[in-house]
Amino acid sequence: MKLAKLAIALVCVLGLLLLGTSALSLPDTGKPLSGIDSQEYKPGEVLVRFKEGTDPKLKEDIKDSAGEKATLKQVAPTTGNDIQLIKLEPDVTVEQAVAELQARPEVLYAEPNYTRELLYNPSDPGFPNQWGLHNTGQTIEGQTGTPDADIDAPEAWNIEKGNTSPVEVAVIDTGIDLSHPDLASKLWQNPGEVPGNSVDDDGNGYVDDYNGYNWTGISQYRYSHYEYLGYASYRKKFAQSFKARASAGHTQKLSHVGIALAKTGNPSATIKVIVRSSLGGSNLASFTIDPSEVSKSEVREIYKPLSSTLSLTPGATYYLVIRTSSVDSSNYYRLYTYGGNSILDLYLEGKEYRWDGSAWVSMDHDDLYFKTNPYYYPYDYYGHGTHCSGIVGAKEGGGNVVGVSFGANTRIMALKIGDSSGVLYEADILEAIYYAADNGADVLSMSFGGPYSSAEQDAVNYAHGKGAVLFASAGNGYGPVIYYPAGCDNVIGVGATNNRDQRASFSSYNSSVDVSAPGVDVYSTMPTYPVYVNNPYYGYEQDYDYMSGTSMACPMAAGLAALIRSQTPYLDPNQVEELIEGHADDKGTPGRDDEYGHGRINAYSSLAVPNIASIQPSILDRGGQTNISGCDFGATRGSSYVSFGAVQATTYTSWSDTAIGVKRPAGAKGEYLVTVTTPAGTSNGVTCYFVNPPSGCGAGGGMAVAMLGLTLGLLSVAGSQRIRKRLLTRLQQVR
């Protein structure tokens, strides 16, 4: 009875305690807004994270001393990570600001707003043939494949199609064609948001984010040269057309616009940025740029609010008109643009115009660097995000392709962080990762890479801690260089293989490669409208086409994770990773190697292995029976068995594919790891405890065991291993 009272007392104390706690591998077609090629970043902006508890006034003083002009945004507002994106004064360089901030003890880190690359290689269109899912030795783009050099998708679909439990896959990329017949029915829907009402219904800081979000707005971030704005006897006025994009029946809000500028000398005239619905029409909204806002030392994006927020009609064309009254050969502005290529067009839905003194002249393949404010519609102007989304989860019967996890319960959260020319900035990527985690994404697919970022590692850790499985492209570096986030902790780096199960020639090989997946000539969805990658320079088709790169391998692996999470939603991210890595087909050097990681993924092997969801009861007295629930145990037992540690059970009361009834082996006591072994492999292990009740003690002994069992359950929640072990020792001593 004393033991029973001790157990009751412990339960009470614990109850009170618990209540009190709570590379884009493109030709040289121009560069993003940056002057550094090895580690490109956005000039004039710095990411900084302060230590917890730093006084707000001190933060402002520190940023001010580093040359801050304004705080652009709090990157991780809901996480407790105080990461801010700050804008610098025109003639303060990123290097100067980072050095100043890093020298302060209150700053955890400061770093540039890095540019990331989409990691795919251009390829020619070909016939629809998804060899990566099922390889019969067919010829793809002139290359005959090796039979079964695939992920065994048809075999896996006999087990799981993505129909069982709901799974959300965040594709952090260039957006998605929301109307594509293979994708329209597979889009994630935010349950807390009413679409199109211009209200942030769920209070998460994003208005109308029903299918995802678009951090880049309508934008074109590359430039190859500049125009003389305000140069004597030269042009004083330019324009850029763009098309409004929103879902049917809803309007797009335009509140901010950005352009890229620098200056020569000291021009004194202001610049006017105007929005019109026609080149010669009236001004709908505008803002003014003062000469003091423009840098001499480097190109800067000048991004400002308009005089009024406009409601743009979906599909309608609008114009940004940039003009100045300056006329000076020594003091003028440089307006940055991409052009000079008669084939390549970075933004297909708009173009640059120049005023020749009497009329507007159209520059059909040229585009200004321009940006509009973020908004809810993740429209894909590039094509990469749509292709990756199709690899993850294109629906069965929707068109010409099928995704790895095509079932109706797999949904794609489209998070757009890439512009029309494939440029991505770190600050947008960070926000998208935090957004995905806070909105319940089970899997993240990140087909981009660049240099190491502490802020990115923080974001990755946050998402992983929220239960997400994260995948990233290992890179198209043709060598050992590590790309991030693939090289980050808590991210599964994915290399690419071809249809002969060889490492793709472009696929980076290093310690970041955890697994490999098909990534050469992968056939998937493309936007059903013209975008950057299907212009004549690259020649991709609309609707469907082949693409190559670790960008394609990443969503292939993410699709497998979606199948696993649909089948076994109770597995944590580390267990999902163990399943994928442990059941990959070993390639190259036996065991894990830098070229293939743990091997090329195998969907069937990862799904066919038995999995234990729960054991009830988990504390057994002498002769007791427990019931094991889970999946893939097999319809009948056959040669399969249950193990309690190293001891195999001998007495079974039932066996089905999802449930097993088994009795405790004689003579065993203590703590055991229970596993189920079938011809497909051995399951995950779940802990079970054996106790021997006191002989002849009747209800009293049973009460002690029951109460201590309850105490153990509470302690497992509280996480006190030391106390739990002591109680287990007492349980084992009960006779």
Residue type, 606: S
Side-chain-side CA neighbours of 722 within 13 Å: the count stands at 0
SS3 for 531? Answer: coil
Query: pLDDT at position 25, please?
Result: 29
The rounded distance, in Å, linking the Cα atoms of 239 and 262 is: 17
The pLDDT value recorded for residue 585 is: 95
Cβ pair 42, 113 in contact under 8 A = yes
Closest by Cα among 664, 687, 665, 683 to 675: 683
Cα 304 to Cα 322: distance, rounded to the nearest angstrom: 13
Grouping H, G, I as helix, E, B as strand and the rest as coil, residue 574 is helix
Domain 7-16+607-733: which topology?
A: Immunoglobulin-like (2.60.40)
- Give, as one character, the DSSP assignment of residue 176: B
422: phi then psi, degrees, rounded to nearest 5: 90, 20
Q: What is the pLDDT of residue 693?
A: 60
Residue entry with tokens 């808590």 = 490
CB atoms within 10 A of CB 688: 21
**pLDDT of res. 660:** 95
Beta-bridge partners for 472: 446, 493
Per-residue confidence (pLDDT) for residue 666, from 0 to 100: 76
CATH fold of 38-118 reads Alpha-Beta Plaits (3.30.70)
pLDDT tens for residues 114-166? 888 775 443 423 334 788 998 889 888 889 999 898 998 888 888 899 999 99
φ and ψ of 732, to 5 deg:
-70, -25
Which residues contact residue 105 at a Cβ distance below 8 angstroms, ignoring those fewer than 6 apart? 51
Domain boundaries, the chain: 7-16+607-733, 38-118, 149-215+377-606, 219-372
DSSP, collapsed to helix, strand or coil, labels residue 335 as strand
Low-confidence ranges of the chain (pLDDT < 70): 1-39, 78, 119-128, 622-623, 667-669, 692-735
Domain 219-372 in CATH 2.60.120: yes
Residue with tokens 């985690």: 437
Q: What is the pLDDT of residue 406?
A: 92
Give the CATH number of domain 149-215+377-606: 3.40.50.200
Question: In this structure, are residues 399 and 197 in contact, taking their beta carbons and an 8 Å threshold?
Answer: no
pLDDT at 371: 97
pLDDT for the residue numbered 709: 45
Q: What region does 47 belong to: left with phi over 0, alpha with psi -120 to 50, or beta?
A: beta
Measure the CA–CA gap between 398 and 401, rounded to whole angstroms. Answer: 8
Element (H, E) at 352: strand 352-355
